[in-house]
Structure 1
Amino acid sequence: MEIQVVGVIGAGVMGVGMAQNLAQTGHQVILVDISEDILNQATQQIKNNIRFQSLFQKTENPTSPDTILSKIKFSTNYKFLENAEFIIENVTEKWDIKNRVYQQIDTICSPDCIFAANTSAISITRIASITKRATKVIGTHFMNPVPMKPMVEVIRGYHTSDDTIVTTKQMLAQMGKDCIIVNDAPGFVSNRVLMLTINEAIFLLQDQVATAEEVDRIFKSCFGHKMGPLETADLIGLDTILFSIEVLYESFNDSKYRPCILLKKMVDAGLYGRKSGKGFYAYSVS
């Protein structure tokens, strides 16, 4: 079954990337967020992303930003999701917020609509439990920036059906992406390993074993990583890193996931990384 209409909830960095990717692959997109200001910023960001992308992907007849934007409906009203065949949710990684969103869309969307949670930490089984369509709830952990990353970590919840997995794989293929399917567990595969690595790299900085530049250079030069763990933390957002490691700590009750004090201090100081202009490195913020 080819998916035509996709709802994207949350117009942050990931939601903007998804809406752009979906529109560029011919889908009709409904992008929903809580304020017009956020949606206006999302519109401008998509324009900027498309122009930036065109500099690296030379084509004879590039699609104009306006053509791509014409496939996206921006709205603060969840009601417009009623005709969506597939929903990708990207709201803040806070349970009380996700809880409200899923209870709301469960009453609006068609019973056949699949709900895909783009989460890095929250249990897919738990999300499914607050809906009346547990077999149609699945996890899709996209990587940033979405249009440029070809692989998605897909998470099967306890009740996720085989049909839902098949449809999700088809949907991702339409977006030009492959996927790896894993079972539901805190942090799944990618974040269970990545957050532990980043947290330990911050401990190295706190213990004055090495500078941020030295830590990242070792991973890039010795292991061939494109980005070091602290550069990756700045890209993801240190607030998101802290939340994810706290979820792992709470879920496993294992001291190896205890959040580094320096990480907590930086988040308290508003040093979130790229999105705030400063984290382990300094950035220009437009």
Structure 2
Amino acid sequence: MSTSQVHRGHVARLPVWDRCAVMGVVNVTPDSFSDGGRWFDTTAAIKHGLDLVAQGADLVDVGGESTRPGATRVDEDEELKRVIPVVRGLAAEGITVSVDTMRACVAEQSLAAGASLVNDVSGGLADPAMVPVVAAAGAPFVVMHWRGFLEGATVRGSYEDVVSEVVGELHARVEAIIEGGVAPDHIVVDPGLGFSKEPGHDLALLAHLPELRALGHPLLVAASRKRFLGHVLADEEGAPPPARERDAATAAVSAIAAHAGAWAVRVHEVRATADAVRVARAVEGAL
């Protein structure tokens, strides 16, 4: 298989990369599971986004609301206050910016401030106005597999066949979003690793990424520092390493995802993953 045969898909209105893209994460929150509070200040968040690009990120995902299990939702005004200045500052530097939000108002104002992509972990289910806003703006849209808010524990994480069920539910959601006016070539799909899923479910989905790619849309894989990696890396007593000690494992998943044809991987620590996706591309080119 030559590099030209690895078809990752192209997302309309976004740059074209000749390999799996790297999406760096900027959490403008005090309570993210892995780096909450480190980039809460606007100036620090913008600098962090610039640093991620210098380390190899192709685009930067800015979020102002933690989606970790049990997290309390912030109100709309607070999310806007956190996100919009950072989006504006990074876009002004020529960076391709994604906004990580479940609120249509935040998406709309972020797009107006220069964001290029809306990354909604609810796939447009949390806010009925989201799909109309994205459709009206003609913006690319990440549709994640989602079964509800993670309030205190994994929600509805029971599957008979996690791969077929996630693929089926994503297909149905994508069809609804297209009916809502979003162009098919603007849609990215995300299997939602860690959302209403146990570690075994996440690993099964990673083992079957071609089935997800068969949905016909570019694929985003967001495994960075997640619980299933802690489970894999747990010590003899079953204790997982802290989230920030899972970056090497994250880079390993990035290489796996890139080799399987993912369009992009979403990560907190960029440098190792930037190397991993470039190695994966070099290997593809040697086949």
Question: Highest CA radius of gyration, 1 or 2?
Answer: 1
Is this a same-fold pair by TM over 0.5?
A: no
Which structure has more relative contact order (CA 8 Å, sep 6+)? It is 2
Structure having the higher helix fraction is 1
TM-score scaled by length of structure 2: 0.31
